[in-house]
Amino acid sequence: MTNTPLARQVFQAFARVHILHHAAEGPIFGLEMIKELQRHGYAIGPGTLYPILHSLRKARWLRSAELVVNGKRRKYYVATAGGRRALAEVRKKIRELGREVLGEQTAK
């Protein structure tokens, strides 16, 4: 991954959208999302992920609940109705920007 300031900002925004996308599909937890994001080429660790999760929760786009799984306490996150609405809005903008930046024609 490139280290230019713009690229870092864009990739962090992409990571936020990616997290919200998965949380809209069902409950997620930190280590699972680190692995998912790494699978897509994001170099992200707990020191980056958890502040993102907390900021999404503070914005009321995620809610969390602690569960005990195999004797370990784990915090799960799921998208709220507001988070799903925010994701729908972002998806429209991503689609529009992607078409323009990538030079794809829109159907008329």
> Token pair 């914005």 is at which residue?
59
Q: How do residues 11-62 score in pLDDT, each as one tens digit?
A: 889 999 999 999 999 999 999 999 999 998 888 899 999 999 999 999 999 9
Q: How do residues 59-93 score in pLDDT, each as one tens digit?
A: 999 999 998 888 989 999 999 999 999 999 999 99
In 1-108, alpha helices (H) = 5-25, 30-39, 46-58, 81-102
pTM over 0.85: no
Residue 106's pLDDT band, with cuts at 50, 70 and 90, is: low
Tokens of 68: 């005990």
Identify the CATH assignment for 5-102 out of 3.30.70.260, 3.90.1300.10, 3.30.2020.10, 1.10.10.10: 1.10.10.10
pLDDT of residue 105: 65
Where do the domains of the chain lie? 5-102
